[in-house]
Amino acid sequence: MSDLKVGLAGLGTVGAAVIRMLERRAGDLFARTGRGIKVVAVAARDRTKDRGVDLSGVRWYEDPVELARDPDIDVFVELMGGSDDPAKAAVIAALECGRPVVTANKALLAKWGADLARIAEASGASLHFEAAVAGGIPIVKTLRESLAGNVVERVSGILNGTCNYMLTRMADEKISFQDCLAEAQRLGYAEADPTFDIDGFDTAHKLAILTSLAFGTQVDADAIYVEGIRQLTLEDLEAADDLGYKVKLLGVALRTETGIEQRVHPTMVPKHWPIAQVSGVTNAVAVDADAVSLTLVGPGAGGDATASAVVGDLADVARGVAGFVFGMPVATLMKPERAPMQRHEGGYYIRLSVVNKPGTAATIARRMADEGISLESIVQRRPEGQQGEAAQGTARVILITYATSEEAVRRAIAAIEADGVVNALPQVIRIEKD
């Protein structure tokens, strides 16, 4: 059988790693697929840049759309990133030609996944995207293929290595959020503009894809409730530790009586849970289904980890493995019934900075009782570094609730603020319990 000829758009860290991996594993890949897999054409802006790979004899394109339409390639690999053009135009061009596409672009899939799936089905092309979610963890194939006989009830995980790295260092080394962010930027884990990562949008894009695969729904990133980690303080992480929890930025999708609940937010998880042990830039995805429950852990980003997923998809193309993009025909994907975040139920950590005067505690307790919220514990702390009269004027009150609703918590906090007993924005973190 002839070689599988690859056209690759995007020669950044991941693109160069893919070329190196294909060369390094050429013999094994041939043994596994019965075909050689070779990059024969590329699209990149700078031809002079040293990428540490031999590109002699490879055709160059300035325009990735032209590369996607090249009749002498068998598969188009998109590693440029971005939710719109040129990535979108190039992927559509390849699919309309009936050409298989491999991409690592979660933003593109979160925004245009259904449209791309329709084009793929119409032309008979396949669209592969294992590298788009959780880097080297094979969660896409697991949900789409390996768990096809299961009814999935919940998918959750740590899907952003930057945030997990920062939360790990803050908790372990007692580093402030801002200092930890600066260090993450220096090491290349966070971008100069870290908004996409630390405000939860990257996790939300990945969760939207996992939700579609797990529940047979249309990709709907707009249905996800999103909070990032920007508001977390070292005090919150230390309080979590004292209470027996770790704080993780989780993406969660689950079936409820009112629909599919999708949310991204900082979460306190018990220290003994496997996901609480996942540290640094590592990712983890847990799947709870009717027949099995499993947790997959691995590198969520980086050249080699992402290249591993891309090359795995190329091996599938070489073997002729294809299927519906999201596991079933796009016309059968259901429009998800959104479960309002206000109906979410669980435990809550609430930190209040309050005016330290008689009656404050009674006011807080009354407002919680008005909403039917039972308190598991209440702790009062002196603000760190304050002494004397300054400390007497302000106190930190930490509440841990039993299971209650998001709506009740928000109403209680609004009432406490209206009573004038708090002097800073309250902090609320949801708690996952056994």
- Residue 212 · residue 219 · CB < 8 Å: yes
Give the pLDDT confidence score for residue 188 in this predicted structure.
Answer: 83
Task: For tokens 């209440």, name the residue.
Answer: 378
CA angle 260, 263, 264 (to 5 degrees): 155
* The CATH number of the domain covering residues in 343-431: 3.30.70.260
| Separation of alpha carbons 249 and 207, rounded Å | 12
Give the pLDDT confidence score for residue 338 in this predicted structure.
Answer: 76
Give the pLDDT confidence score for residue 23 in this predicted structure.
Answer: 96
Neighbouring C-alpha atoms within 13 Å toward the C-beta of 401: 28
| Separation of alpha carbons 179 and 370, rounded Å | 40
Nearest partner of 193 among 155, 230, 235, judged by Cα: 230
> pTM for the complete prediction?
0.92
pLDDT (tens place) for every residue of the chain, 434 residues total: 799 999 999 999 999 999 999 999 999 999 999 999 999 999 998 888 888 898 988 999 999 999 999 999 999 999 999 999 999 999 999 999 999 999 999 999 999 999 999 999 999 999 999 999 998 999 999 999 999 999 999 999 999 999 999 999 999 999 999 999 999 999 888 888 999 999 999 999 999 999 999 999 999 998 999 999 999 999 999 999 999 999 999 999 999 888 899 999 999 999 999 999 999 999 999 999 999 999 999 998 888 999 999 999 999 999 999 999 999 999 999 887 777 776 788 999 999 999 888 888 889 999 999 999 999 988 876 655 555 444 457 888 999 999 999 999 999 999 999 999 999 999 999 999 87
**Count of C-beta atoms within a 10 Å radius of residue 38:** 15
**Count of C-beta atoms within a 10 Å radius of residue 303:** 17
- The sign of the torsion formed by the CA atoms of 203, 205, 210, 211 equals positive
Give the pLDDT confidence score for residue 383 in this predicted structure.
Answer: 58
| CA-based R_g, the chain, Å | 24
Nearest partner of 24 among 61, 52, 56, judged by Cα: 52
| Separation of alpha carbons 171 and 164, rounded Å | 11
Question: Beta partners for 6?
Answer: 39, 75
Give the pLDDT confidence score for residue 87 in this predicted structure.
Answer: 97
So which residues are the catalytic ones? 206
- CATH level 3 topology of 4-132: Rossmann fold (3.40.50)
Domain boundary assignment for the chain: 4-132, 140-299, 343-431
Q: Which CATH number fits domain 140-299: 3.20.20.140, 3.30.360.10, 3.40.50.720, 3.40.720.10?
A: 3.30.360.10
